[in-house]
Chain A
Amino acid sequence: MITPEVTATATAPGRPRGGLVNVPKRFLPVIATFVVFVATFGVGSVRYEGFASGQVMANLFIDNAFLIVLAVGMTFVILTGGIDLSVGSVVALSTMIAASALQAGWPAWLVVVTVLATGSALGLAMGWVIHRFGVQPFIVTLAGMFLARGLCFVISVESVSIKDPAFRELATGSIELPGGVTITYGVVIALVTVLAAVYVLHLTRFGRTVYAVGGSESSARLMGLATTRVKVGVYVISGFCSALGGLLFSLYMLSGYSLHAVGMELDAIAAVVVGGSLLSGGVGFVIGSVVGVLVLGTIQTLISFEGTLSSWWTKIVIGALLLAFIALQRIIVRRT
């Protein structure tokens, strides 16, 4: 073939030189989200005493560890231009399976494996249907949402509490960081998930193909990339993350219940989108989604610091803050 000799042809005059504005532009939404997050946190610390403590920050992670994991899975799916509505229900199903299996006396490790396998299998099934039959992801995963929620009710309509010592140990145990700040094991698991996702998305062929499929699926196919594997794979990943998120949630609640995590899929989607990903696919970063979760978490924290809001004002304020975040982010992105 061609020997890799470099022909040094002179650049024709006037040829556009790429990369003038482009590289940072991709990161802009993430940076904007981060700036907005910091700003809100700043506002909170001026307004409320004790807001700016390390522990409040750590609690943000503790209270949202499961959501971080869900958002990671959702990011994979959204990057390919898909969507996964089943995550909230899969979380509920996972808590249900975990709680009832533990109640039935299964060893903790087996419970964990079963839950993760169930979530992944559900994801695999949905991904396969989406890919093989060309049915829209929204519908397939909506059916998955019904199915998982339905299976919860089949297992039990009552709430089942978790009494397993290993689980309780994990749930209540904490790790002390320098400065007297403590975090839970859940936080560690969530952060490891994030790192793994970053690695996969940016440094593996699978990850880059995820972006390619989101950019243009037909092009990716014509380029000879493994689009099938990716399109199905992202739902498996999301299913796995939902199950893992479900386990974290069961640690957080120490119970399994059919009505856990209702509407949580919307939180996950919101986090991903607030973090700068486009639902049309191909654009976004896992880190953005994590910041997105922190933004949603901060909103909750602000509300709880405010303390005296009636339940309807809470909803209105959440909506308003969400709006403020998105609007600010848009402004930052447009200005630059």
Chain B
Amino acid sequence: MTEPVVDMRGISVEFPGVKALQEVDFRLFPGEVHALMGENGAGKSTLIKALTGVHRIAAGEVRYAGERVSFSAPAEAQAAGISTVYQEVNLCGNLTVAENILLGREPRKLGRIDGKAMRARAAELLARIGLHIDPGSVLESHPIAVQQLVAIARAVAVDARVLVLDEPTSSLDADEVAELFRIIRVLRDEGVAVLFVTHFLEQVYEISDRMTVLRNGRLVGEHMTAALSRIDLVSAMLGREMGVLEEIERRSGTPGEPLLVAEGLGRKGSVAPFDLEIRKGEVVGLAGLLGSGRTEVARLLFGADKADSGRLLVDGKQVRLTGPRAAIEAGVAFSSEDRKAEGIVADLSVRDNLILAMQAARGWARPVPRKLADELVAKYIELLDIRPADPDRAVGNLSGGNQQKVLLARWLVTQPKLLILDEPTRGIDVGAKAQIQKVVADLAAEGMAVLFISAELEEVVRVSDRVVVMRDRQKVAELDGEVGVDDVMALIAGGGDHGVDQGVEKAVAS
């Protein structure tokens, strides 16, 4: 076997009050795809950041291409040939797509940046990963998934010896994932070492050659992917047998009366007017490609964006389309897909984040009693298994998956009538994902209506009683009863008249 290109030995990383990594060994060989596995908060991102010089290493040594190194800034790791996509999209939203891809290595003519060449080069790099957007457009005008692809384009734009991808696929559709994997394979065959983090087991088995499993900041083991079964992998990650992944039972009882009725709701340039009905105790899935309008529908229903046509009834009463507060008062809750910008309040504690929505509803003069807050926090930390289970820790210091759980809990404590979840399981580990899906099912069983949005079709189909399909910013169909992934897929892809049971498709005129 060849020498490892990255060889980390006995790595420990500490944060005030947490030992994020303890004596972890990690090797990465050229020409392999190596999956780094572990639950939320296991220390995957920390290991990556220790390698690239973002975090300081308390103990242990890093060898890169045979030499001992200690990068003190990401720039040094990058210059040495380690190209990284970090977990949260870490780009500059105020700059153009082209700049985000090429910043720091722009084509230059006589010392000045050659804008035209830059856009051309960016377009080329975007095309390589199958993304066709205007390189001159401002990054923050694109949805999170596109931003993630742009970050990947940036990482593969250089001749790197090591490519690190921390949950690059968490918001991508099947198509984009396939495209990304194609590129990863090309790179691997050229001898690049690829480090890959994901919570999708299928993807791990599809792409990786070898994996390293972490648990609670410690190394559990390094395995060849082919030699480790899924069951073994999951129990290695969780440190116990996998019990929660039981099949979600389909509820037999018929859903109650309509809770939410939208009539001709729409917004110019965002979603064409659509009708939608959600019943009490029903989980409605919203499926569609990136940019098909699924997030926009959710935002309209909640008033995060203002609708300019149509009306909305909750429980038979018309809701003023004035903004989130009106929706919240009517009993609607919404957890945004953009966790960093629209979800967590990073500097505040887990407790404060958790009771924020409840507190906002009560108004400032009636604080949530400390005792009640503690009870709620304890309950949801336990129910959703939020780690570390410390209510006073700033939420910004939690791992991505745990932040997501805090957000879910924030809305659950308000006991809404309708819960809109936009990508609630993004970046969440297998165990927790099953937990969340189960929580959703239980809530529905208790009579709550849920609108569930996810890029992962299997998940949408599994949790939903009914699936609404979006395409090109229009609602194109509603599928009832026993829905299969393939049915939805056909509709999403367009030309859905074939192969789909006409009986369940209610095409919406627009």
Contacts and interface: CB of A to CB of B under 8 A. Distances in A.
Interface of A: 1-2, 4-9, 11-23, 25-26, 199, 202-205, 208-209, 211-212, 214-216, 218-226, 282-283
Given A14-B288, A222-B86, A2 B187 contact: yes
B94 A211 contact: yes
A15 B104 contact: no
B499 interface: no
B106 A6 contact: no
Contacts of A4: 124
Interface residues of B, number: 65
Interface string B454-497: 00000000000000001111000000000000000000011000
A14 B187 contact: no
Q: In the complex, which of the residues A9, A212, A222 has the most CB atoms of chain B within 10 Å of its own CB atom?
A: A222
B99 interface: yes
B472 A13 contact: yes
Contacts of A25: 138
Given A14-B472, A18-B141, A224-B74, A214 B128 contact: no
Nearest to A8: B127
A214 B472 contact: no
Given A21-B269, A208-B106, 8 more contacts: A1-B158, A8-B127, A13-B494, A18-B133, A22-B138, A199-B112, A220-B92, A225-B75
A20 B138 CA distance: 10
B375 interface: no
Contacts of A19: 133-134, 136-137, 141
Q: State the main secondary structure of chain B at its contact with A.
A: loop
B104 A7 contact: no
A62 to B, nearest CB: 31
A32 B99 CA distance: 26
Contact of B95 (A12, A20, A199, A212): A212
A157 to B, nearest CB: 46
Contacts of A283: 94
B137 A13 contact: no
A245 B91 CA distance: 35
Contacts of A15: 132-133, 289-291
A6 B128 contact: yes
Given A209-B103, A282-B94, A224 B493 contact: no
Nearest to A211: B95
Interface of B: 54, 73-75, 77-79, 84, 86, 90-95, 97, 99, 103-104, 106, 108, 111-113, 115, 124, 127-128, 130, 132-134, 136-138, 141-143, 146, 154, 156, 158-160, 173, 175, 179, 183, 186-187, 190, 192, 269, 288-293, 470-473, 493-494
Contact of A212 (B103, B143, B156, B473): B103
A25 B137 CA distance: 10
- Closest 8 pairs (CB-CB, A-B): A215-B92, A18-B137, A19-B137, A19-B134, A16-B291, A9-B130, A224-B78, A215-B94
28 contacts: A1-B192, A2-B183, A2-B190, A8-B127, A12-B290, A15-B290, A17-B133, A18-B137, A20-B269, A202-B113, A203-B115, A208-B103, A208-B106, A211-B94, A211-B95, A212-B99, A212-B103, A215-B93, A219-B90, A219-B91, A221-B74, A223-B74, A223-B92, A223-B104, A224-B74, A225-B75, A282-B92, A282-B94
B350 to A, nearest CB: 21
Nearest to B138: A22
A148 to B, nearest CB: 32
Contact of B159 (A1, A16, A203, A218): A1
A222 B142 CA distance: 21
Q: In the complex, which of the residues A199, A215, A221 has the most CB atoms of chain B within 10 Å of its own CB atom?
A: A215
A204 B113 contact: yes
B103 A225 contact: yes
Contacts of A21: 141, 269
Q: In the complex, which of the residues A2, A8, A212, A223 has the most CB atoms of chain B within 10 Å of its own CB atom?
A: A223
A203 B110 CA distance: 11
A223 B289 contact: no
Contact of B154 (A8, A26, A202, A223): A223
A94 B139 CA distance: 42
Nearest to A4: B124
A202 B94 CA distance: 14
Contact of A16 (B78, B146, B179): B146
Given A2-B156, A16-B290, A223-B154, A208 B113 contact: yes
A222 B166 CA distance: 13
Nearest to B54: A222
A222 B137 CA distance: 22
Contacts of A224: 73-75, 77-79, 104
Nearest to A11: B132
Contacts of B77: 224
Contacts of B106: 205, 208
Contacts of B124: 4, 6
Contacts of B158: 1
A224 B104 CA distance: 8
B97 A222 contact: no
B92 A12 contact: no
A13 B187 contact: no
Contacts of A16: 133, 142-143, 146, 290-291
A75 to B, nearest CB: 15
Given A1-B190, A7-B128, A214-B94, A223 B471 contact: no
Contacts of B137: 18-19, 22-23
B290 to A, nearest CB: 6
Q: In the complex, which of the residues A8, A13, A26, A283 has the most CB atoms of chain B within 10 Å of its own CB atom?
A: A13
Nearest to A217: B92
Contacts of B141: 18-19, 21-22
Nearest to A17: B133
A202 B77 CA distance: 27
A220 B78 CA distance: 13
B216 to A, nearest CB: 26
B185 to A, nearest CB: 11
Given A6-B128, A205-B106, A211 B175 contact: no
A223 B88 CA distance: 13
Contact of A18 (B97, B130, B159, B192): B97
Nearest to B182: A7
Contacts of B90: 216, 218-219, 222-223
A113 to B, nearest CB: 25
Nearest to B123: A6
A234 B111 CA distance: 19
Contacts of B494: 13
